[in-house]
Amino acid sequence: MDSTIALLIDAENISYTNAKEIVEVLKEKGTTVIREVVADWTKIAGKQKENNASNDAQTGWRNAIAAYSMTATQQFSCVQGKNTSDIALAIRAMKIVYEKKFIDTFCLVSNDSDFTRLAQELRENNKTVIGMGLRSNSNPEYVNAFSEYIYLNEKLEIKDIDSERKGAKFKPIEKDRLEYMSNTASEIIEDRGQILFSELGSKMKEKYSDFVPRNYGFRTFSKLMESIMDDLPHMRIENDEKNGLKLIHKKSKPEQPPKTKEQINSQKGTRASARK
C-alpha cells in the first residue's frame, strides 16, 4: 500500500471501458502519481456495437481521462503501418525511471507483446512492474515478463468470505500450478517445518506472474488458499501470531502457547504432592 505508481495505458490496445477497473485495482497497490494514456488519437475512430449504436472510442477515452484525472498524450504515426505510439510510451516510461526516481512501481496496460522488453528493462532497474490486459489476448511469454499480471474484464465475483462464493463465478487454479505449489510448500515444510503464506505467495508469483488472487475471484491470498485446501490434503493452515498464516504438515502438532507462571507453579505443587 506504500508503493508510488506510474500508470501508462496503451489506448490503441485497451478499451476505455476498463478505465474504472484499472484505477480501482491500483488503489489497492499504493498511490498512483502519474496517469498517462498514450495513442495516436487521430487513428481511434468510432466503431459499431452489435446494436449498431455509435461507439466513439475517442469520446469514451476523453470522458474516462476527465473522470480519473489522467493525461492524454498524442503521438502521430510518421509512417503508415508503424505504431509510433508504442515507442512514445516506452520512451515515457524510461524518462520516468531516470527523472523521477521516487517512482517504484510501473503499471503497463496493454496486450501488445512488443512491451515485453520494456517490462524486463523496468524490472532490471529494480522496479515492480504490474501488467494489465485481457486474458484472451495475452501470451505466456509476455505475461511472465511482469512482476505481477492482472486480467481485466474477467466478470468474476470478488468475495471475502468463502460462504459467499456459493454459486459465484470463479476460475479454478490450474492443475500444474497446484502441483507446483504442493511440491514447493512440501520441500520448505520438510526443511523448516512450515511455510508462511507470504513466502508461498511470492514463490508462486515468481513462477507465474499472473498468480494473483483477483484473477481467481478472491481479494486475498489467504481466502484463495482456504478454497483449495481440499487439493492439499497433507497440509493444514495454522495461524502464527507473529508472522501470520502458514502451512504445515497435518502430522505436525499445533504450537502450544508458553505456560504462565501460575501453570508452572501449579505443576510444581502437583509433583511435590506426588513425592510426599
Domains identified in the chain and CATH numbers: 3-151 (3.40.50.1010), 162-249 (1.10.10)
Q: What percent of the chain has pLDDT over 90?
A: 61
6-20: buried (b, 16+ CB within 10 Å) or exposed (e) per residue?
Answer: bbbbbbbbbebebbe
Judge whether 178 and 231 are in contact, CB under 8 Å. Answer: yes
Cα 49 to Cα 47: distance, rounded to the nearest angstrom? 7
On whether the CB atoms of residues 25 and 132 are closer than 8 A, the answer is yes
Which of 211, 210, 215, 103 lies closest to 153, judged by CA? Answer: 215
In whole angstroms, how far apart are CA 167 and each of 47, 152, 160, 196, 232? 35, 21, 14, 30, 23
**Per-residue model confidence as pLDDT tens digits over 29-39:** 999 999 999 98
158-198 pLDDT, tens digit per residue, is 655 444 444 445 678 899 999 999 999 999 999 999 999 99
Confidence of residue 53 (pLDDT cuts 50, 70, 90): very low
Rg over CA atoms, the chain: 25
pLDDT of 225: 93
Q: What is the mean pLDDT of residues 125-134?
A: 96
Grade residue 45 by pLDDT with cuts at 50, 70 and 90: low
Amino acid letter, residue 273 = S
